[in-house]
Amino acid sequence: MNAPPAFESFLLFEGEKKIGISKDTKVPNACLFTLNKEDHTLGNIIR
């Protein structure tokens, strides 16, 4: 099957960060947060 290994959905690889932060250039005093390898549960908590 072409399915990726299950551990790739939650384990971080070397050099990969859990949270990425980048400044938003369109809005002053704003940042974009990128969460890696999190499921919908964290999204429901934030919402």
Indicate whether 41 belongs to any domain. Answer: yes
Q: Is residue 11 part of a domain?
A: no
The whole-angstrom separation of Cα 34 and Cα 46 is 13
Non-local CB neighbours of 47 within 8 Å, separated by 6+ positions: none
* 25-37 pLDDT per residue, tens: 999 999 998 888 8
Is residue 28 in a domain?
yes
Domain enclosing residue 29, as ranges: 18-46
Residue spans of the chain under pLDDT 70: none
Q: What is the pTM of this model?
A: 0.59
| Domain total in the chain | 1
